[in-house]
Structure 1
Amino acid sequence: MSGVTFAAALAALGGCGLLGGPDHSPAAGSGGLEKPSIRVAVMSTIDTAPFRLAQDGGYFAREGLTVEATEAATGQAALTKLIGGEVDIGYSSYTPFFAAKSKNTADIRLVADASSAAPGSTAVVALPGSPVRSVADLAGRRIGITAPNTMSDTLTKSVMQDHGVDFSHVAWTPVALPNVAASLKHGDIDAAFLTEPFITQSAKAVGSVSVVDTATGSTRDFPTAGYGALGRFVTESPKTVAAFQRAMLSATRDAADRAKIEPLMVKYAGVDAETAARTTLLTFRSTVDPRQLQRVPDLMLRMGAIATGVDAAPMIVPQVVG
């Protein structure tokens, strides 16, 4: 998921009040953080809007926390930065986190949730004149995905399996999300998995239509992305982690007001105001639910994305409430 980088400030929006951010002094008990300045790898996706709201709206500052955002092109890139020590916390779809845990390549701990798939927010799309008109037509086709064994092909395989469609002969074709519309137009692929705002952008650019909503059946309300850290950071900086969680909890709650999110999409996710208004948002979340999250590694195992099962619960950092 890429787009323009989330790098500029929100000064043009008129300050924290317009963002819905708190304008009062830091909360009591926010002092004494082990690491008051942290670096977080994020991607230019619409489901990081609550993070930007927390950063530029003063939510982190209220907790005595300074957060420096580092752009990552993909979830795997964010994970690489995390493992390499470039950042303290990384945002990613859940699949790279569980793949790393399954292979024992990193001690991944999940700090906060980010999003779940809402109806219409993730889909397989095709051109109107394409022979791909339903999920049944996906068998044996060339389907564009972000990369193998990611959320894109895992969700698509699950929906195909739900409908009894064989996916063993599908030509899974890596295509960057911003390039999907052109690939469809040029006939390089027959269909593609997309998330918002790329579903809306592709429809606007080449008239693509949703063939199947991948947030249905076994993957209804499926956890899609979250924020992870290494075990050492979590152990050494529990107050810092809790401060991050409190800020994200508050910002995610306020992100329910779409008026606060659409300007962020326009300024930082590379979409115009019309697309921002029409985009179907993912469901923003902050608190990690162990039972819900377990669905991710279980599905990855069934779809062959990981070779060994993963118990999600021990990976979850204790969550703040309030």
Structure 2
Amino acid sequence: MLGLILLVQTLHVVIGGPPTSPEYLPVRAAEMEGYFTREGLSVDVHSTRAESGAAEALAQGQADIAATSFEAMLRFGQRPGGPTAKLIFGLTAAPPVALLVHASHAERIRSPRDLAGTRIGLTSTGAPEQAWLMAILARAHVNPAQVDLRSFGARGVAAALDAEEIHAGFVPEPAATQLVGDGRARLLVGLTSPRAVAEAVGGPTVNAGVFVRADRRPGDRELSAFLRAVLAAERLLATEPAAALAARWPQPVVGVGDVFERRLETTRSIYLRDGWVSTDAVLHTVEIVRAHLPLPSTVRVPPPQQLLFLEPLKHAR
């Protein structure tokens, strides 16, 4: 009977970024595995090319739920005088990348404190992970003006590090693990678990999450059902062999070759436990975002507790 009641309204969900992104995989997995249907929900999932697009879709009323980054929601999901976007579920603490140093420089560069005067590679200037790099440098008391940041694209940063075009690089998984495993690079800072992120930046954070608008959110019972499906998907990702998932999921999600399997094996630990986000994590993340690039003057950031709506999650666990 519950399923029949919940099926009355279709939930329109927008996910930011490419289908291969591990940060939003639990939401995609919940759809692909039929977990939303099992919870009695009708869910229509769409993707946007960038996380900013998902934040804007929620702000413009084109989506009931958005899975995107906290920074994107702050910058693009808030309208002057408009309703506040509420975080209902935390997915990850930071982008799943690792700060690596080329093996030939490993003796000289032993920690982030040694990065002054070096060339550091990123996928692109302004990429989501840049805010986290700035936080790592700040914690190490390295002024951003003391490093030379260079952009190489998602695949290019690993190649640039391997070719010694840069001293260090923020390399996505699974390329980071492969470079370290082959002895071509050494790990300085890894961001592939909430605990590692907290140690790297000095406190709890949230990066990817699930958001609703305060003024037109779905009912609490629907949101709890939605989040139960996402939690079930996270449990699946933690235990199911990657090869089995790759065999039954569509090509846009798994990509080509064994990349999906290697990516999943290196990112299983990135998810926040039970989707829970504290006010301290919100406050710290706002500070990291602002320190990286000031928010527009038109954006008013409410107190941390007003950015969270965790009641549906409490009833979903």
Farther off after superposition, 180-189 or 202-211: 202-211
Tell me the secondary structure at the aligned position of residue 145 of structure 2. coil
User: Are the equivalent residues in 1 in contact too, given 2:16–2:53 (CA < 8 A)?
Assistant: no
User: Are the equivalent residues in 1 in contact too, given 2:52–2:76 (CA < 8 A)?
Assistant: no
Residue type of the alignment partner of 2:280 = R
User: Are the equivalent residues in 2 in contact too, given 1:95–1:149 (CA < 8 A)?
Assistant: no
Distance in 2 between the 1:113 and 1:279 partners?
A: 16
Aligned to 2:75: 99
Residue among 230, 237, 240 paired with 1:248: 230
User: Are the equivalent residues in 2 in contact too, given 1:116–1:221 (CA < 8 A)?
Assistant: yes
Farther off after superposition, 300-309 or 121-130: 300-309
Distance in 1 between the 2:284 and 2:8 partners?
A: 33
Q: Cα 1:319–1:250, aligned 2, differ >3 Å: closer, same or farther?
A: farther
Residue type of the alignment partner of 1:312 = P
Distance in 1 between the 2:53 and 2:183 partners?
A: 29
User: Are the equivalent residues in 2 in contact too, given 1:298–1:309 (CA < 8 A)?
Assistant: no
Farther off after superposition, 160-169 or 148-157: 148-157
Aligned to 2:194: none
Tell me the secondary structure at the aligned position of residue 5 of structure 2. coil
TM-score normalised over the length of structure 2: 0.74
Deviation at 1:282, TM superposition (A): 0.6
CA RMSD in angstroms comes to 3.6
Residue type of the alignment partner of 1:74 = A
Residue type of the alignment partner of 1:258 = T
TM-score normalised over the length of structure 1: 0.73
User: Are the equivalent residues in 2 in contact too, given 1:34–1:239 (CA < 8 A)?
Assistant: no
Aligned to 1:225: 208
Deviation at 1:148, TM superposition (A): 4.9
Following superposition of structure 1 onto structure 2, how do residues 151-162 of structure 1 map, counting pairs within 5 Å?
A: 151-162=128-139
Cα deviation, 1:108-148, whole Å, max 9, x if unaligned, reads 22232112359xx5421232124655312322433233455
Distance in 1 between the 2:5 and 2:203 partners?
A: 40
Residue among 185, 198, 204 paired with 1:208: 185
Residue type of the alignment partner of 2:138 = Q
Deviation at 1:296, TM superposition (A): 0.8
What percent identity do the matched residue pairs reach? 21
User: Are the equivalent residues in 1 in contact too, given 2:174–2:262 (CA < 8 A)?
Assistant: no
Following superposition of structure 1 onto structure 2, how do residues 225-304 of structure 1 map, counting pairs within 5 Å?
A: 225-234=208-217, 238-252=220-234, 254-255=235-236, 257-259=238-240, 263-264=244-245, 268-270=253-255, 271-274=259-262, 276-279=264-267, 281-285=269-273, 286-304=275-293
Deviation at 1:60, TM superposition (A): 0.5
Q: Cα 1:195–1:170, aligned 2, differ >3 Å: closer, same or farther?
A: same
Aligned to 2:146: 169
Distance in 1 between the 2:70 and 2:130 partners?
A: 13
User: Are the equivalent residues in 2 in contact too, given 1:101–1:310 (CA < 8 A)?
Assistant: no
Aligned to 2:308: 316
User: Are the equivalent residues in 2 in contact too, given 1:145–1:174 (CA < 8 A)?
Assistant: yes
Distance in 1 between the 2:14 and 2:33 partners?
A: 16
The ranges of structure 1 where at least 4 consecutive aligned residues each deviate by more than 6 angstroms after the TM superposition are none
Name the structure where helix makes up a greater proportion of residues. Answer: 2
Cα deviation, 1:298-319, whole Å, max 9, x if unaligned, reads 2323444436755232122343
Tell me the secondary structure at the aligned position of residue 233 of structure 1. coil
Distance in 2 between the 1:172 and 1:103 partners?
A: 32
Distance in 1 between the 2:268 and 2:224 partners?
A: 30
Farther off after superposition, 236-245 or 56-65: 236-245
Residue type of the alignment partner of 1:158 = A
Q: Cα 1:91–1:194, aligned 2, differ >3 Å: closer, same or farther?
A: farther
Residue type of the alignment partner of 1:41 = I
Cα deviation, 1:249-300, whole Å, max 9, x if unaligned, reads 3333x24633266644685244253554455631344244333332211232
Aligned to 1:12: none
Distance in 2 between the 1:148 and 1:102 partners?
A: 23
Aligned to 1:139: 116
Aligned to 1:306: 295
Residue correspondences, number: 292
Deviation at 1:187, TM superposition (A): 5.0
Residue type of the alignment partner of 1:295 = H
Aligned to 1:16: none
Q: Cα 1:79–1:161, aligned 2, differ >3 Å: closer, same or farther?
A: same
Aligned to 1:126: 101
Distance in 2 between the 1:297 and 1:92 partners?
A: 15
Tell me the secondary structure at the aligned position of residue 212 of structure 2. strand
Alignment of 1:61 onto 2:37: yes
Residue type of the alignment partner of 1:306 = L
Alignment of 1:38 onto 2:31: no
